[in-house]
Chains A and B, each alone.
Chain A
Amino acid sequence: MAIHIIDRRLNPGGKSLENRQRFLRRAKSLVQGAVKKTSQEREIKDVLEGGEVTIPLDGMHEPRFRREGGTRDMVLPGNKKFIEGDYLQRQGQGSAKDSGPGEGDSEDAFRFVLSRDEFVDLFLDDLELPDLAKRKIAQTESEGIQRAGYTTSGSPANISVSRTVKLALARRIALKRPRKDEVEELEAAIEACTDEDERAELVARLEKLKAKTKRIPFIDPLDIRYRRYEKMPRPVAQAVMFCLMDVSGSMSEHMKDLAKRFYMLLYVFLKRRYKHVEIVFIRHTDRAEEVDEQTFFYGPASGGTLVSSALQAMHEIVRERFNPSDWNIYAAQASDGDNSYSDGELTGLLLTEKILPVCQFFAYLEVGESGGSAFDLSDSSLWTLYERLRNSGAPLSMRKVSERSEIFPVFHDLFQRRETAQEKAAP
């Protein structure tokens, strides 16, 4: 009898992926709730790492007709001392069998693991970028062609001559194909030769060389190489994210931490929407500078506070490096709200004239000390200024935050579907 042995290991995996997606779609509201809860408990750094979530099984329960209660008979192995007619005490007097309706597995929680992508998807699902239609985001990517090494087959138009010749040369050397000057030398020697015997020997050698030359072609089909091209997604939708932060003495570690969390989420969010996201960190005291991330968050700095300096720096960087027609520009500013009063006018002017017209989105996050509720903060100078601008129609999003746990809601609010955001913006 013929027995078939088949190696299935190389078959494409993920056969149940579709079922999994169906399951997630069905459990969406439950899973989303679980994701939110999990992400609040976690460090924001790991928030988008995926991982285990727990949902109540109740929502995903598959009911069956099940019987319970009544008199039960069972045959068990391992009798040691019982004889017929013995009575065994019930454990915990009946707690085991008086299980009420609804008890049992329906109360259990269902744990499973979400992949990173699934987690992020669910987390950001109902968020949407403002003004999506405006820019190139709709056509997410176009295909470009890029050189990628050489190949042994291809169209004649793509023959790489230099590569082919190089290989041919290597082969000729390896196989010891007679060189042209060798042959010529020999021919000259024959010409010059007078001795018949020697001449015959030389002719024989010449014949040999010629035969070998014939046998080993100058260019063999083996040598031919073609240029290889690969299709590459070309990022059309690219974004730059400006992180502006006040690092003057009045900003505590806690406030910076809040700001950092906010930037991270913004980054992750943009990263999902755009193929290519650049980040520019601008920190400022009474003067602004572009720094790297480490310095941005942890570098020491001191001085007064001039917000306009940061805006000026951002404006210059945009002009130099990020043409607004090629880049989607996002900016998020974090500050404790202090600003020197004399700076207010300049700040307002820069913002409305230079910054906001090129920005997709400008968010201002006012961070406070831990413990102070967002409502208790009396309006700071910067807040007052921005609020005035917003009321006069500038597209600004602004929030106050003082606790870590408030970051998520804020983030959520800020990016909620545009209509609602606008409604909120104009109360």
Chain B
Amino acid sequence: MTERLFEGADWDFHTLQRITDACEEVALKDLGLDVYPNQIEVITAEQMLDAYSSVGMPLFYKHWSFGKHFAYHEASYRKGLMGLAYEIVINSSPCISYLMEENTATMQTLVIAHAAFGHNHFFKNNYLFKQWTDAEGILDYLDFAKNYVMQCEERYGRTEVERTLDAAHALMSHGIDRYPGKKQLDLREEEKRAGRRRQHEEEIFNDLWRTVPKGASKARTAISLERRRKLLGLPQENLLYFLEKSAPRLAPWQRELLRIVRHIAQYFYPQSQTKVMNEGTATYVHYRIMSKLHQQGRITDGNFLEFLGSHTNVVFQPEFDDPRFSGFNPYALGFAMMQDIERIVTNPEDEDREWFPDIAGRNDVMGVLRDVWANYRDESFIGQFLSPKLMRHFRMFHLHDDPEERAGIRVDAIHDERGFRRVRRELARQHDVGFIDANIEVVDVDLSGDRRLILHHRVIKGSQLNETDAKRVLQHLADLWTYDVALIEVDANDKVLREYVVSPRPIAAAVA
């Protein structure tokens, strides 16, 4: 009989060490996971709240909006409206997991298995994270960002910096490259570059140049639309990138700030695309590890029951007419799909052989799962691996709500032979960021005229922008562009639905 990892609910740092070692053994040997080195930090509730307000990162630049979120979270936490997470895990190398100090020993085991091995493996192996994030560099980059923002505040004033950051934050959801470029992101290099750029500017600065008379400006030849668009790299859906490169009157430090916000948005981009998979992986891993530890007799039956209690809470999926329902629970869906894949691989039925000929009966559960974890995101994962059995289990159905339809909301497909593929496609689409975020692009700049920036919003399924918010965001955009900005909402047939034109504010007014 193996020695118990702990008795009862109490733990100390030796217990944590033992727990981690035991989890590691199962994770690496039985599950064949490949993880970043782990760093486990025990924190208090207040520190957890701190972490919440800076999007979970251990360090971040200062901005009032984080204070707002902190105040909000604190108020609801104090009133007991909100519980705190058991852990936060950061996609970095070493992979940092924060554990709450009030977790019981069982919960700490669960959380270590979940975060330090489940999420950690996913971060290290999933193609999106490999492509878009630089786990080695992120903490250093955040440190650089923090200091850079601080320096800018000292040099250019807090209001000015705040104004730029406000604008950048408003555009953050549209500051993402959706298609990978030629180069891997290297945040350390990024940080050095910013320094070199500044140094270069300082070295070549010579006030005399200002006094040199300018020659007659070159005759302006009208360039064709095609050529202009090519020069400016249009159409461009990464608005922050476009502003950073092409906004005519931004100071270099403002461009650098936009760049920072853009990089951070990009860092979080894979997370938003892999919620179901990420949580599914981590939940599946903690379930396997906990079960194994229980089998080995390293946790008692009582503790295992405690684990099952919280595990069941986490993967609970309320039905659509339940007051607790708020969409699909990524833990529930992810975990169910991982278990379902395990079933298909080891114990398939005829239906599964028909739907999943590649993996049905392959018997190598971890091989299949590791491959899935590495090569899919939510949309493609659901699109390929949601089985009819699971759709029946969740009793999924697809509603189509057309405001024009007088009769009501139509049930388009249900969990039957005719509907499986349509339900699955629709659910996959719901998890596709391409459909969730508004499709907005910079299409043209009126170079010969008033330098107006022209954006298009391709309206999908009649869903237009919220007017109040759109105006405010455009105001920020115009402030950065410093000339008029026009946003045109067009539908699939190029019919104009609505048009916004916003002029930049004079700086004094913009401060208020």
Contact = CB atoms under 8 A, between A and B. Distances in A.
Nearest to B425: A75
Nearest to A74: B399
Contact of B396 (A67, A70, A79): A79
Interface in A303-324: none
Contact of A21 (B67, B402, B462): B67
B459 interface: yes
Nearest to B44: A9
A4 B40 contact: yes
A97 B162 CA distance: 36
B355 interface: no
A33 to B, nearest CB: 16
Interface on chain A toward B: helix, strand, loop, or mixed SS?
loop
Contacts of A89: 408
Interface string B449-466: 000000001011111111
Given A65-B440, A69-B464, A79-B396, A84 B169 contact: no
Contacts of B65: 23, 62
B409 interface: yes
B75 A63 contact: no
B426 A73 contact: yes
Given A22-B67, A75-B426, A113-B71, A70 B50 contact: no
Interface string B321-337: 11001001000000000
Contact of B408 (A13, A20, A80, A88): A88
Nearest to B460: A70
Interface string B231-271: 00000000000000000000000000000000000000000
B438 interface: yes
Count chain B CB atoms within 10 A of each CB in A5, A68, A98 and give the residue with the most.
Answer: A5
A170 B437 CA distance: 80
A21 B319 CA distance: 42
A305 B38 CA distance: 81
Interface stretch (A99-107, A124-132, A233-241): A99-107
Contacts of A375: none
Interface in B303-347: 317-322, 325, 328
B103 interface: no
A22 B62 contact: yes
A8 B42 contact: yes
B320 A77 contact: yes
Contacts of A61: 472
Contacts of A2: 37
Contact of B476 (A63, A82, A87): A63
B465 A77 contact: no
Contacts of B13: 5, 7
Contacts of A72: 399-401, 461, 463
A112 interface: yes
B406 to A, nearest CB: 10
A120 interface: no
Contacts of A19: 53-54, 62-64, 66-67, 70
Contacts of B320: 76-79
Given A16-B70, A64-B473, A77 B317 contact: yes
Contacts of A11: 47
B4 interface: no
B85 interface: no
A85 interface: yes
Nearest to B332: A77
A101 B415 contact: no
B412 interface: yes
Nearest to A80: B395
A267 interface: no
A104 to B, nearest CB: 7
A3 B38 contact: yes
Interface residues of B, number: 98
Nearest to B392: A79
A75 B67 contact: no
Contacts of B328: 75, 77
B468 interface: yes
B47 A13 contact: yes
A73 B412 contact: yes
A83 interface: yes
A158 B293 CA distance: 62
Nearest to A63: B472
Contacts of A52: 75
Given A3-B37, A8-B47, A112-B72, A16 B394 contact: no
Interface stretch (B16-24, B125-133, B275-283, B372-380): B16-24
Contacts of A77: 317, 319-320, 328, 394-396
A72 B466 CA distance: 15
Interface string A47-68: 0000010000000111111111
Contact of B40 (A6, A15, A69, A90): A6
Given A61-B472, A79-B395, A113 B24 contact: no
A24 interface: yes
Contacts of B70: 16, 19-20, 23
A179 interface: no
Count chain A CB atoms within 10 A of each CB in B68, B172, B321, B402 and give the residue with the most.
Answer: B68
B173 interface: yes
A197 interface: no
A67 B438 contact: yes
Contacts of A22: 62-64, 67, 162
A411 interface: no
12 contacts: A9-B101, A13-B50, A16-B53, A16-B66, A22-B67, A70-B463, A73-B461, A74-B430, A78-B320, A85-B410, A88-B409, A112-B74
Interface of B: 13, 16-17, 20-21, 24, 37-44, 46-47, 49-50, 53-54, 62-68, 70-72, 74-75, 78, 94, 98, 101, 162, 166, 169-170, 172-174, 317-322, 325, 328, 394-404, 407-416, 418-419, 423, 426-427, 429-430, 437-438, 440, 457, 459-470, 472-473, 476
Task: Please list the 4 inter-chain residue pairs (A to B) with the smallest Cβ-Cβ separation, ordered nearest first.
Answer: A78-B319, A70-B463, A23-B67, A70-B462
Interface of A: 1-9, 11, 13, 15-16, 18-27, 52, 60-80, 82-90, 94, 97-98, 101-102, 104, 106, 110-113
Given A8-B98, A15-B50, A62-B166, 14 more contacts: A2-B37, A23-B70, A64-B473, A65-B173, A66-B466, A70-B461, A71-B402, A74-B426, A76-B319, A78-B319, A79-B397, A80-B395, A90-B408, A111-B75
